[in-house]
Amino acid sequence: MERPVFEADHQRFREVVREFIAREMTPHHERWEQAGLCDREVYVEAAKQGVIGFNVPEEFGGGGVHDFRFNAVVAEELSSARVHGPGFTLHNDVVAPYLLNLANEEQKARWLPGFASGEEVWAIAMTEPGTGSDLKGIATTAVRDGDEWVVNGAKTFISNGIHSDRVIVVAKTDPAGGSKAFSLLVVERDMPGFTRGRNLDKLGLHAQDTAELNFENVRVPAANLLGKEGHGFYHLMTNLPEERMSIAVSAVAASRSILDETIEYAKNRTAFGRPIGSFQNSRFVLAELDTEVDIARVYVDRCLGVLARGELSAVDAAKAKWWTTELQQKVVDRCLQLHGGYGYMMEYPVAKAYADARIQTIFGGTTEIMKEIVGRDLGL
């Protein structure tokens, strides 16, 4: 299907990303899955090829390209290859906007060079053991003490939690502040009192390190306040639409990838003396999935074009996120069913795709929260 949202530069970049994944990631992915995390060096290599850091200004060592369609290319190629170890989309799509839009000039000079070169891995810590989608329920606190903030609390399910050198922490800085209670603070690896728990054992995405983080009287310099004090909640709401689009892009690409493999499987796997794809039920299932994935891609591509113009609404991003991730669940489930017993075996790609896909309707805002956003926009 023709995709006019992408131009020649994006297509050339896609070849670079695809080649990088094939050379530097796919051969190591099984080892990363067994280890529970990837090699840190892959971030540096990715930066050298412009796969990460391309949206950082050139003066700080980046590519100086601010066009989310390049982010989408990276997300699509990673999902198509089903290589999930390094948090490249977290790096490009989630963390970068916070640094580019909220950091002051001193902070940019201090943080962006290492970020752009891949030598420093970043994470963002929102979720807590008792707080998921309800961000206003965050209990981690930061109390001002002279030129420092003293941070106490715990975070969980933090992607890049083990590898991260710096973490953007959402903390309550004003207990009585309501929606203005929260601020963003950058906590660094060697700060006393900052510790990491275990690398969490997840259902899928085993090569992506995900950890618990603990803060016990961590003294964070006031110079590490990111954005405006008391505006943390607003900063999060501003940046979440891009994160949700990144997830939507990944969902469609992953759906297309496993669907194409299943179509080939249905042509070659026989039952009752004929290919399973020749049975009407199989044809109808695959026809339905093929149609819905194409429709989802058209909507997501339209959203990408709007986002490239800086006009994408939080509501449209929420629609894209919930619809495409729920579709991904449907696609992998139906594709696994068509594989029969082999689909339940982890040596078949569809089984791993099934496990990896399950988080998609949860992180970045659950399907229920996305529907709430859309519903409120309807005046309900």
Residue positions annotated with a catalytic role: 243
Phi-psi region at 217: left, alpha or beta (left = phi > 0; alpha = psi -120 to 50): left
What's the Cα-to-Cα distance from 244 to each of 72, 227, 358, 376, rounded to whole Å? 12, 21, 16, 18
Letter for the amino acid at 134? D
What's the Cα-to-Cα distance from 240 to each of 50, 76, 102, 206, 315, rounded to whole Å? 24, 19, 14, 24, 11
Helix/strand/coil for 117: helix
Q: Where are the alpha helices (DSSP H) in 82-212?
A: 88-89, 96-102, 105-117
Q: What is the DSSP annotation of 195-260?
A: EEEEE---SS-TTS-EEEEEEEEEEEEGGGEES-TT-HHHHHHHHHHHHHHHHHHHHHHHHHHHHH
Residues in the chain: 380
Tokens (6 digits) for 172: 């309550």
Q: Which residue has the tokens 């799509």?
A: 93
Q: Phi/psi of residue 175, each to 5°?
A: -55, -25
CA-based torsion, 10, 14, 16, 20: positive or negative: positive
Residue pair 261/293 in contact (Cβ under 8 Å)? The answer is no
Task: Give me the helix-helix angle, 232-268 and 280-308, nearest 10°.
Answer: 150
Q: What angle do CA 26, 28, 31 make, to 5 degrees?
A: 130
Phi-psi region at 50: left, alpha or beta (left = phi > 0; alpha = psi -120 to 50): left
